[in-house]
């Protein structure tokens, strides 16, 4: 019998800031090292707060996927003395490098702009920290076992959330633990479905949408098409605040089909985000990670990230030039929660115009401008200006990259009888507790919502 100490140092009862510590007698392992975002970040400036453990004592950091709330503090961990090994899938490493380098830029621009919308956690790392992190970073493809000290064996499984996203299986002693990271909203346009991992005893699972369901897959596509057609009919602007990873590429994939099959009339589409453009380039290198349908379309000779009237605006001057392009037009820009990036300029330009549609396609954290827009606020503060919202605000939750309540429930149900304990994490308390109750009531699961920073001992 072996014992593992498990502590949720972030992401226990918050959606963001994922940071879990596993300690055995011989090694210390971290899973994810993410940034707090939105309201959680305002309450707690973790960017400056020291880690609750000594980063120098950590042997290995496993990274589930390249979203900022899972990788954002890795350079700070390195800055503070971590010199162990980082492991992720190959795409996660490539995307993380771009995201972390971009984090330096975001931190700098926030310092200059002062109060442009809500605050992000301040970052205090530089290029050298990112470089060091990349030197410590090794890759491990899905399904390839990694043997560690004391008979521990780790394997990555496809979670279907974003390109390269992994669930981390840790086999040790007599038991198996699975940490899900974020779980994809399968079936997704580009990625494989979330895999079902056999014989798991301890499950650490996300619960972002633990208490809500999304529209189905066909509804999301239909709704997206309707919103574009409405924009064309109104001669308006469709502004889509989109996350640079996965959401932008999924929207391009759908738009590619609409345009190539003449399902919609021609309309200029702008991807106005240097980060999204860089990430799209990475996606093109990993087509073997896509699902059968996407691979089939690519094999037939179609470049799924290129179609007539699509324009990638990398430079600032090209971005400003979008304003001069006649309506109707579609602008996809980050950040996904409207708390920075170029989308705020388009929101300032177009939200007060009734012919505009603002389309929300992802999770909006409490405290972000995106959340305020999603809940129907009629004036919001953008770049220091009060802007009245006369635009139509639409929300397509079907493009969420996260499983909904039924999806999470089905995932646990499919894992079967081996499950002894379920830790429901990475959700707002309402979401996490709803899912805990649902799992207890309907599956008789031993599910809990663990507190942050409280150590749990598990027998392996
Ligand atoms: Zn994620």
Residue 231 tokens, joined: 């924009």
Domain 3-212+401-459 shares a fold with domain 217-399: no
Sign of CA dihedral 402, 407, 408, 413: negative
Averages of pLDDT over each 10 residues, the chain, 460 residues: 94 84 97 80 60 97 95 95 98 97 65 41 80 98 97 98 98 97 95 97 96 85 96 98 93 95 95 96 96 94 93 96 97 93 96 97 88 95 94 91 95 96 94 96 96 93
**What is the Å distance from ligand 1's center to 385 Cα?**
31
Please tell me the distance between residue 88's alpha carbon and the centre of ligand 1 in angstroms: 14
Instruction: Say what the pLDDT of residue 48 is.
Output: 62
pLDDT at 114: 36
Please state the domain extents for the chain.
Answer: 3-212+401-459, 217-399
Least Cα distance to 335 among 16, 13, 42, 38 occurs for 38
Residue 161 Cα, ligand 1 centroid: separation in angstroms? 7
| Contact indicator for 332, 251 with CB cutoff of 8 Å | yes
Element (H, E) at 419: none
Q: Could you tell me if 421 and 449 are in contact, meaning their C-beta atoms sit under 8 angstroms apart?
A: no
270, β-bridge pairs: 311, 331
Output the pLDDT for position 46: 47
Note the pTM of the prediction, 2 decimals. 0.91
The residues, ordered by sequence, that sit 6+ positions from 393 with a Cβ below 8 Å of its Cβ are 357, 358, 360, 373, 374, 376
Q: How far is the CA of 41 from the centre of ligand 1 (A)?
A: 17
For ligand 1, the distance from its centroid to the CA atom of residue 16, given in whole angstroms, is: 9
pLDDT of residue 123: 62
Q: How many angstroms is it from 206 CA to the middle of ligand 1? A: 10
Q: How far apart are CA 427 and CA 166, in angstroms?
A: 18
Sequence-separated (6 or more) residues with CB below 8 Å from residue 260: 302, 307
- Distance (angstroms) between ligand 1 centre and the Cα of 260 equals 30
Reference 170, options 332, 304, 31, 351; nearest CA is: 31
Q: Which CATH architecture has domain 217-399?
A: 3-Layer(aba) Sandwich (3.40)
The fold for domain 3-212+401-459 equals Metallo-beta-lactamase; Chain A (3.60.15)
Compute the chain's Rg from CA coordinates.
22
164 SS3 class: coil
Q: Which helix (H) or strand (E) holds 255?
A: helix 247-260
Quote the ligand 1 centre to 182 CA distance (angstroms).
Answer: 5
Q: Which two tokens stand for residue 267?
A: 């309309």
Identify the CA nearest to 206 among candidates 3, 448, 11.
11
- Sequence-distant (≥ 6) Cβ neighbours of residue 209 within 8 angstroms: 363, 400, 402, 403, 404, 405, 407, 408, 427, 431
Phi/psi of residue 396, each to 5°? -115, 100
Spacing, Cα 212 to ligand 1 middle (Å): 17
User: Ligand 1 centre from 91 Cα, in Å?
Assistant: 14
Cβ atoms of residues 181 and 204 within 8 Å:
no
Cα–ligand 1 centroid distance for 306 (angstroms) = 25
Ligand 1 centroid vs 308 CA: distance in angstroms?
A: 31
CA of 64 to the centre of ligand 1 (A): 9
Contact (CB, 8 A) for 204 and 179: yes
User: DSSP letter at 119?
Assistant: P
CA max distance for the chain: 69
* Angstrom distance (rounded) from CA 396 to CA 410: 22
- What is the 262 CA–ligand 1 centroid distance (Å)? 33
**DSSP-assigned beta bridge partners for residue 31:** 20, 62
**CA angle 127–133–134, rounded 5-degree value:** 90
DSSP one-letter code for 425? E
Which tokens belong to 271?
């991807």
Would you call 127 helix, strand, or coil by DSSP? helix
Q: Are strands 137-139 and 447-448 parallel, antiparallel or unpaired?
A: unpaired
Distance of CA 179 to the CA centre of its chain: 16
Helix (H, G, I), strand (E, B) or coil at 344: helix
C-alpha 181 – ligand 1 centre gap (Å): 7
| Residue 103 vs residues 108, 121, 125, 153, 363: alpha-carbon distances, Å | 9, 11, 9, 33, 20
Q: Please answer whether residues 61 and 84 qualify as being in contact, where contact means their C-beta atoms are separated by less than 8 angstroms.
A: yes
């Amino acid at each position: 019998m072996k014992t593992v100490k498990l502590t949720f140092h972030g992401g226990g009862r918050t959606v963001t800031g994922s940071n879990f510590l596993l300690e055995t007698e011989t090694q210390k392992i971290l899973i994810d090292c993410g940034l707090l975002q939105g309201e959680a970040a305002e309450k707690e400036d973790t960017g400056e707060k020291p880690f609750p453990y000594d980063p120098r004592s950590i042997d290995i950091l496993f990274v589930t996927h390249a979203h900022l709330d899972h990788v954002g503090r890795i350079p700070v961990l390195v800055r503070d003395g971590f010199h162990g090994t980082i492991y992720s899938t190959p795409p996660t490493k490539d995307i993380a490098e771009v995201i972390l380098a971009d984090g330096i830029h975001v931190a700098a621009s926030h310092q200059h702009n002062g109060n442009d919308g809500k605050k992000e956690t301040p970052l205090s790392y530089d290029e050298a920290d990112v470089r060091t992190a990349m030197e410590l970073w090794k890759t491990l493809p899905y399904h390839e076992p990694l043997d560690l000290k004391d008979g521990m064996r780790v394997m990555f499984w496809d979670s279907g959330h974003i390109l390269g996203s992994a669930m981390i299986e840790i086999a040790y002693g007599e038991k198996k633990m699975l940490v899900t990271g974020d779980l994809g909203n399968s079936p997704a346009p580009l990625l494989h479905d979330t895999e079902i991992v056999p014989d798991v005893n301890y499950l650490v699972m996300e619960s972002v949408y633990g208490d809500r369901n999304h529209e189905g897959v066909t509804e999301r596509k239909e709704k997206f098409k309707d919103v574009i057609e409405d924009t064309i009919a109104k001669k308006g602007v469709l502004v889509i605040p989109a996350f640079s990873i996965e959401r932008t590429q999924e929207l391009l994939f759908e738009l590619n089909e609409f345009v190539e099959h003449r399902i919609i009339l021609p309309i200029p589409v702008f991807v106005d985000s240097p980060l999204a453009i860089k990430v799209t380039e990475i996606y093109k290198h990993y087509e073997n990670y896509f699902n059968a349908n996407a691979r089939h379309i690519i094999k037939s000779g179609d470049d799924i990230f290129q179609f007539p009237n699509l324009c990638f605006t990398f430079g600032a001057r090209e971005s400003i030039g979008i304003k001069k392009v006649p309506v109707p037009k579609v602008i996809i820009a980050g950040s996904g929660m409207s708390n920075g990036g170029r989308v705020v300029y388009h929101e300032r330009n177009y939200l007060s115009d009734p012919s505009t549609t603002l389309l929300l396609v992802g999770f909006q954290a409490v405290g972000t401008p995106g959340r305020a827009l999603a809940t129907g606020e009629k004036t919001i503060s953008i770049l220091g200006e009060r802007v009245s919202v006369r635009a139509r605000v639409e929300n397509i939750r079907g493009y969420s990259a996260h499983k909904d309540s039924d999806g999470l429930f089905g995932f646990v149900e499919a894992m079967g009888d081996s499950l002894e304990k379920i830790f429901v994490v990475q959700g707002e308390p309402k979401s996490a507790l709803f899912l805990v109750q649902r799992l207890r009531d309907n599956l008789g699961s031993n599910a809990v919502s663990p507190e942050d920073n409280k150590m749990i001992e598990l027998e392996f």
